[in-house]
Amino acid sequence: MASCPECRSRLVYDRETKTYVCEGCGGTYTQQDLLMEREKALAKKFDEDRKRRARSEYLEWWLSSKETR
Protein backbone atom coordinates (compact mmCIF):
# COMPACT_ATOMS: atom_id res chain seq x y z
CA MET A 1 0.00 0.00 0.00
CA ALA A 2 1.36 3.39 -0.99
CA SER A 3 1.66 6.23 1.49
CA CYS A 4 1.63 9.99 0.98
CA PRO A 5 5.10 11.56 0.69
CA GLU A 6 3.89 14.59 2.65
CA CYS A 7 1.88 13.23 5.59
CA ARG A 8 2.36 9.43 5.34
CA SER A 9 -1.40 8.78 5.17
CA ARG A 10 -2.87 6.14 2.90
CA LEU A 11 -3.17 6.84 -0.83
CA VAL A 12 -6.25 5.75 -2.75
CA TYR A 13 -6.21 5.32 -6.54
CA ASP A 14 -8.80 7.37 -8.45
CA ARG A 15 -9.58 5.60 -11.73
CA GLU A 16 -11.25 8.62 -13.34
CA THR A 17 -8.25 10.93 -13.02
CA LYS A 18 -5.66 8.11 -12.95
CA THR A 19 -4.01 9.62 -9.87
CA TYR A 20 -3.47 8.68 -6.26
CA VAL A 21 -5.29 10.83 -3.70
CA CYS A 22 -4.16 11.14 -0.09
CA GLU A 23 -6.84 10.46 2.51
CA GLY A 24 -5.12 12.73 5.02
CA CYS A 25 -4.03 15.90 3.26
CA GLY A 26 -5.88 15.56 -0.06
CA GLY A 27 -2.72 15.71 -2.17
CA THR A 28 -2.81 14.08 -5.60
CA TYR A 29 0.07 12.18 -7.17
CA THR A 30 0.63 10.39 -10.43
CA GLN A 31 2.51 7.12 -10.63
CA GLN A 32 5.51 9.07 -11.97
CA ASP A 33 5.39 11.47 -8.99
CA LEU A 34 5.47 8.56 -6.56
CA LEU A 35 8.38 6.92 -8.39
CA MET A 36 10.37 10.16 -8.31
CA GLU A 37 9.69 10.59 -4.57
CA ARG A 38 10.81 7.02 -3.93
CA GLU A 39 14.03 7.59 -5.89
CA LYS A 40 14.72 10.80 -3.94
CA ALA A 41 14.21 8.98 -0.64
CA LEU A 42 16.55 6.16 -1.67
CA ALA A 43 19.20 8.64 -2.82
CA LYS A 44 18.93 10.53 0.46
CA LYS A 45 19.27 7.31 2.48
CA PHE A 46 22.27 6.24 0.38
CA ASP A 47 23.93 9.64 0.91
CA GLU A 48 23.30 9.53 4.68
CA ASP A 49 24.76 6.01 4.86
CA ARG A 50 27.82 7.13 2.91
CA LYS A 51 28.37 10.10 5.25
CA ARG A 52 27.90 7.91 8.33
CA ARG A 53 30.44 5.41 6.99
CA ALA A 54 32.94 8.19 6.23
CA ARG A 55 32.58 9.62 9.76
CA SER A 56 33.03 6.18 11.27
CA GLU A 57 36.15 5.51 9.20
CA TYR A 58 37.60 8.88 10.13
CA LEU A 59 36.90 8.28 13.81
CA GLU A 60 38.61 4.88 13.62
CA TRP A 61 41.63 6.45 11.93
CA TRP A 62 41.78 9.29 14.45
CA LEU A 63 41.55 6.96 17.44
CA SER A 64 44.16 4.60 16.03
CA SER A 65 46.57 7.49 15.47
CA LYS A 66 46.14 8.50 19.13
CA GLU A 67 46.97 4.99 20.32
CA THR A 68 50.34 4.89 18.53
CA ARG A 69 51.61 8.05 20.23
pLDDT-derived band at 55 (thresholds 50, 70, 90) equals very high
Strands (DSSP E) found in the chain: 11-14, 19-22, 28-29
| pLDDT greater than 70 at residue 69 | no
What proportion of the chain, given as a percentage, has pLDDT over 70? 94
Phi, psi values for residue 6, rounded to 5° = -85, -50
Identity of the amino acid at 51: K
Cβ-count burial of 20 within 10 angstroms (0-12 exposed, 13-18 middle, 19+ buried)?
buried
Range 25-42 average pLDDT: 94
pTM of the predicted protein model: 0.66
According to DSSP, residue 2 is labeled -
- Give tens-digit pLDDT for 59-68: 999 998 876 6
